[in-house]
Amino acid sequence: MYTVRLPPIATNRDELSDSQIIHCYNQRAEDSENRIKELKLDFGGDNYPDT
């Protein structure tokens, strides 16, 4: 048997069910990851120095 550990999600979106909230936050994360990938691939973002 294994245990799944999920981070807590704090929200004030009372009108959504638990699964809808998780779906909403997963979509936001996917969009952010795609934008970072685009910056790295299209604009040479991985050549910028870290601050």
Task: Look at residue 13 and tell me if it is in a domain.
Answer: no
pTM check: above 0.75: no
* Domain span at 33: 18-45
* E strands present in 1-51: none
- How many structural domains comprise the chain? 1
d(Cα 2, Cα 42) in Å, to the nearest integer?
40
pLDDT tens by residue, 8-24 = 888 898 999 989 988 88
Task: Look at residue 4 and tell me if it is in a domain.
Answer: no
pLDDT tens by residue, 28-45 = 877 787 788 887 777 766
Task: Look at residue 39 and tell me if it is in a domain.
Answer: yes
Q: CB-side exposure of 30: number of CA atoms within 13 Å?
A: 6
Task: Look at residue 5 and tell me if it is in a domain.
Answer: no
Task: Look at residue 29 and tell me if it is in a domain.
Answer: yes
Q: What is the dihedral of CA 21, 19, 17, 31, to 10 degrees?
A: 20
pLDDT at 4 over 80: yes
